């Protein structure tokens, strides 16, 4: 059932599970709990209007621009209502701790998520399981020659807009009640701060109390952290034993364009990948540095794509392009420009802090800082130089890295992949939630979504968010 707003005569609601947020995480979790026979309440601050911002909250950015408000939606379906549909799982190495990289590794393994990744295939309108795809294996032997790998993406086709895809089902459900225009403004804890006793919702009809056996915040990276920090300030007591991590460790996938140019010989096995951007294709290959090379050098993960250059801006590229058009068409593919999307080091200097001014609901606005560390820059520039050396040495083609990129003169932009700030850890000494997404020290509170990512790998987050939701549903239902 979907209700436009809290009824005026309903001052208190009781349910088994209360989910805050109706994006990919919240809706997936609600549907799974419904299958297991549980009663669920979803609290959505927005409505069916995309980008609805009922409280006019503000995020002041410093550092590099993330254009954060372009992808922070309060609506039924969350950010999936404007999602591009890119799907791929994290790599096995993304879950592993690296000695040279502080805060690396997850408290779970790829094997823990693999069965849930497989189950996302239907939810996300994918063609096949990533772990049974032969296309990637056909290219691996060639990739290994230059210390490379391939990152395969599938497009969700048609793109899963969770609010649209599941609206009718939830409207008819007798187990799920989704209240729109129902922002949470307060969290009431017991005297010891170990149990959430109730949430307060402020709607146009008044203030309402929500009581549940278990509460799960599924509001996205920034909003999960902002709400929990705001409630901590209101209560004058930090929520969770790992509160020192709350709001810290914001991560994006820094995106760089015009990193360089490359030309592949037509005879090499990679030639079949040059048309990966062709319209209508459901698959898309990216190049990666291999796990072995990353570990040897202490580099972060990244992926880069190539696309045809029509009018090169760089004078050297113009000469290469001119030479290609006149003499090299029979041997080379067209000049390709390189776009780069990168993993980011989890640093405490990136994150949000509450300001003193508040939105119309009385929740505090935030400052968001997003910068790159020395490790980030070192990984990105050295990885590209590595490829530039390897390609010609093996007779596969040529690659030139943009000098401005190597000199760090090209600023990254956000990829609309906001992650971190309620990180998963082995204990409250290195995380805010545990491996089952329970807040350390609070028995009936969980956080779900990209905010729990300890690291980001080179994978867009939606598929992993959905897999984590399926896993959490199994866990909390078994917990009873």
Q: In this structure, what token pair is assigned to residue 219?
A: 């509001």
Phi first, then psi, for residue 369 (nearest 5°) are: -110, 135
Q: How many CB atoms lie within 10 A of CB 115?
A: 13
Q: Residue 374: is its pLDDT beyond 70?
A: yes
The closest alpha carbon to 366, from 418, 314, 310, belongs to 418
Distance of alpha carbon 113 from alpha carbon 88, whole angstroms: 13
- The structural domains of the chain, ordered by start, are 1-124+160-253+414-480 (3.50.50.60), 129-158+255-343+373-411 (no CATH)
Confidence of residue 153 (pLDDT cuts 50, 70, 90): confident
Average predicted confidence (pLDDT) for the chain: 85
Distance of alpha carbon 256 from alpha carbon 386, whole angstroms: 17
Confidence of residue 279 (pLDDT cuts 50, 70, 90): very low
Confidence of residue 25 (pLDDT cuts 50, 70, 90): very high
- Per residue in 318-338, pLDDT (tens digit) is 444 454 444 444 444 555 778
- Per residue in 50-74, pLDDT (tens digit) is 665 555 778 888 999 887 776 677 8
- Per residue in 412-468, pLDDT (tens digit) is 998 889 999 999 999 999 999 999 999 999 999 999 999 999 999 999 999 999 999
Q: Angle between the 462-479 and 110-123 helix axes, to the nearest 10 degrees? A: 110
Q: How far is C-alpha 396 from the chain's CA centre?
A: 34
pTM (two decimals): 0.91
Average pLDDT over residues 122-135: 79
Give me the pLDDT at residue 292, please.
86
Q: Report the alpha-carbon angle 132-137-140, nearest 5.
A: 150
pLDDT > 90 fraction of the chain, expressed in percent and rounded: 59
Handedness of CA 455, 458, 461, 464 (dihedral sign): negative
Average pLDDT over residues 218-223: 94
Q: How many CB atoms lie within 10 A of CB 349?
A: 13
366-369: long-range pairs with CB below 8 Å, 24+: 366/57, 366/58, 366/59, 366/60, 366/222, 366/226, 366/229, 367/59, 367/60, 367/61, 367/62, 368/59, 368/60, 368/61, 368/62, 368/66, 368/68, 368/222, 368/250, 369/61, 369/62, 369/63, 369/250
């Amino acid at each position: 059932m979907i209700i436009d707003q809290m009824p005026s005569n309903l001052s208190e609601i009781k349910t088994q599970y209360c989910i805050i947020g109706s994006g990919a995480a919240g809706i997936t979790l609600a549907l799974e709990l419904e299958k297991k026979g549980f009663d669920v309440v979803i609290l959505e601050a927005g409505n069916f209007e995309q980008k609805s911002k009922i409280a006019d909250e503000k995020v002041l950015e410093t550092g590099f621009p993330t254009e954060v408000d372009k992808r922070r939606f309060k609506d039924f379906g969350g950010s999936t209502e404007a999602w591009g549909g890119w799907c791929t799982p994290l790599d096995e190495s993304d879950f592993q701790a690296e000695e040279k990289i502080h805060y690396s590794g997850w408290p779970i393994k790829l094997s823990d998520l693999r069965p849930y990744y497989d189950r996302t295939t239907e939810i996300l309108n994918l063609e096949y399981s990533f772990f049974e795809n032969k296309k990637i294996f056909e290219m691996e032997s060639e990739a290994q020659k230059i210390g490379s790998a391939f990152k395969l993406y599938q497009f969700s086709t048609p793109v899963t807009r969770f609010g649209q895809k599941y609206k009718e089902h939830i409207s008819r459900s007798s187990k799920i009640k989704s209240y729109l225009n129902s922002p949470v403004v307060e969290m009431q804890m017991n005297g010891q701060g170990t149990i959430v006793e109730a949430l307060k919702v402020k709607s146009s009809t008044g203030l309402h109390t929500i009581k549940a056996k278990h509460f799960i915040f599924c509001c996205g990276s920034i909003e999960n952290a902002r709400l929990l920090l705001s409630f901590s300030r209101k209560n004058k007591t930090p929520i969770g034993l790992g509160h020192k991590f709350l709001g810290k460790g914001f991560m994006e996938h820094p995106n760089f364009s015009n990193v360089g140019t490359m030309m592949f010989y037509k005879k090499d096995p990679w030639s079949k990948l040059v048309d990966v951007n062709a319209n209508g294709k459901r698959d898309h290959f990216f190049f990666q540095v291999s796990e072995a090379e990353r570990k040897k050098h202490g580099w972060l993960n990244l992926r880069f794509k190539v696309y045809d250059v029509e009018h090169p801006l760089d004078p050297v590229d113009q000469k290469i392009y001119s030479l290609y058009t006149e003499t090299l068409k029979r041997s080379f593919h067209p000049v390709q420009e390189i776009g780069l999307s990168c993993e980011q080091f989890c640093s405490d200097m990136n994150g949000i802090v509450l300001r003193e001014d508040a939105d119309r609901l009385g929740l505090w606005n935030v400052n968001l800082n997003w910068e790159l560390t020395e490790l980030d820059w070192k990984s990105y520039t050295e990885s590209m130089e590595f490829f530039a050396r390897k390609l010609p040495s093996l007779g596969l083609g040529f690659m030139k890295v943009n000098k401005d990129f190597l000199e760090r003169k090209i600023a990254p932009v956000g990829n609309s992949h906001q992650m971190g700030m309620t990180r998963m850890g082995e204990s409250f000494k290195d995380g805010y939630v545990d491996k089952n997404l329970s807040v350390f020290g609070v028995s009936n509170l969980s956080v779900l979504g990209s905010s729990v990512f300890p690291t980001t790998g080179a994978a867009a987050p939606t598929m992993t968010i959905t897999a984590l939701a399926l896993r959490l549903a199994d866990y909390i239902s078994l917990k009873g």
